[in-house]
Amino acid sequence: MSNTEQPTLPSERIVSIDALRGFDMFWIIGGGAALSSLVEVWKNPVTEAIHIQLEHVEWQGFRFEDLIFPLFLFIMGAVLPFSISHRRERGQSLPVLYLHIIKRSAVLILLGLIYNNLLSFEFSEMRWPGVLQRIGLCYFFAAIIVLHTKWRTQAIFIGAVLILYWLAAALIPVPGFGAGVMTAERCLSSYIDQQLIPGTLYYGYGDNEGLISTLPAICTVLIGSLAGLWLRSERPGNKKAAALAVAGLACVVVGYVWGLVFPIIKIIWTSSYTLFSGGFCLMLLALFYWIIDVKGYRKWTLFFVVIGVNPITIYFLQRFVDFGSIAEFFLSGVAANAGLLSPLIIPVGILAIKWLLLWFLYRHKIFFKV
C-alpha cells in the first residue's frame, strides 16, 4: 500500500464509492443489530450511547441510524455522472439512455412492491410506498436531471426544491389544524399522504416514503451527483477530498440552523434534514475517498466492497430468507455456552452468514444489477 497521493483519473473506478456503499449496507444487513447487542454484554454509557444511535428517532431529531437511507441515495447520486458519461462514451443515444433509466426505475419499484407483499393481492391492506420504491423514483428523476443539466442547474434545483418545500410546510394550511404545524398527525406531508396514498400508511398518519417528501429525497441524490461531478474533475485528489469535507461541514451547519425553524425530521425528509444528512454524507465520502483513492490504502476495504457491489440483492433477499433461523441452527449451542458473550453470538452469526453469501457471489463475479 502506498501512502503517497495517487491522482485518480475520471475513467478509473473509484473504489471508495463501492466501499462506502458497503459501509452503509453493513448497518442494514446486521451490523447495527450486532453492535446494539453490546449493551446486553456490557452495559455502560458507551454501549448505551451506541444502542441509542442505532435506533431511529421517533419524529424530530437525528441519530446515526437516520443517516443510513440518505447515504444510500447520496451514493446512488455520486455514481450517476460516471455511469451516464460512460454510456455516452459508448455511443448510446438519448432514447437508449431513457430506456435504461425507465427500466431500472420500474424494476426497483416492482421489487419494492413485491417486498411489500404485492403478490398477496390484498391491495387495500398493502403498503404501497417503500424504500425500493423511493430509490426507484429518486433514481428516475435525478437521472433525467443529471442527463440534461450542468452542475449549476442541479444546485439551483436543489435550493429551489428545499426552499419551496419549507414554504409549503410552513404556509399551506392543513384542514382542521392550520399551517406550519410539524407533528406527525398535523403536518402537510401526512395530510397529503392520507388523501392520495391507498392502503396502509407506515406510521398511521402518513408514510416514511410519502409523496411530497420524495422531492427533497431527490435532492439528496443530486447532492451526491454534485459530489460525483467533483470527483470526476481533473483536480488533485487531496483538493477533491478537502473540498468535499468543507462542503459537508457547511451543509451540516446550514441544516442545523435551518432546523431551528424547520425541524430536522427524517420521516418527512425536511429540508433541514436533507442538508444535515447530506453534509455527513459528503464528509464520509471525503474520508473514504482520501484514505482509499488518494492515499491508496485499499486492502482493508474488501469487507465493505463485498457488501457494496450487491446491495439490492442482499436487501431484497433478507426479506424472504430467514437468516436468523439459519444462524440459530448452527450457533444456538455456541450461544448457550458463551456466557457473557451469549447475546452477541446470533446477531454476529446472522451478519457473518449474509457476508459469506455476498463473498461467494463476489468471488464468482456474480453481480445482480437492477
pLDDT of residue 338: 86
Average pLDDT over residues 217-234: 97
Give the chain as a 3 state SS string: CCCCCCCCCCCCCCHHHHHHHHHHHHHHHHHHHHHHCHHHHCCCHHHHHHHHHCCCCCCECCCHHHHHHHHHHHHHHHHHHHHHHHHHHCCCCHHHHHHHHHHHHHHHHHHHHHHCCHHHCCHHHCECCCHHHHHHHHHHHHHHHHHHCCHHHHHHHHHHHHHHHHHHHHHCCECCCECCCCCCCCCHHHHHHHHHCCECCCCCCCCCCCCCCHHHHHHHHHHHHHHHHHHHCCCCHHHHHHHHHHHHHHHHHHHHHHCCCCCCECCCCCHHHHHHHHHHHHHHHHHHHHHHHHCCCCHHHHHHHHHHCCHHHHHHHCCCCCHHHHHHHHHHHHHHCCHHHHHHHHHHHHHHHHHHHHHHHHHCCCCCCC
pTM higher than 0.95: no
Task: For residue 60, list its beta bridge partners.
Answer: 265
pLDDT of residue 303: 96
d(CA 57, CA 49): 13
Q: In 10 A of CB 36, how many CB atoms?
A: 19
With a pLDDT cut of 70, the percent of the chain lying above it is: 96
What are the tens digits of pLDDT across the range 277-297? 999 999 999 999 999 999 999
pLDDT of residue 13: 65
Average pLDDT over residues 169-196: 96
Q: In 10 A of CB 173, how many CB atoms?
A: 12
Average pLDDT over residues 38-64: 95
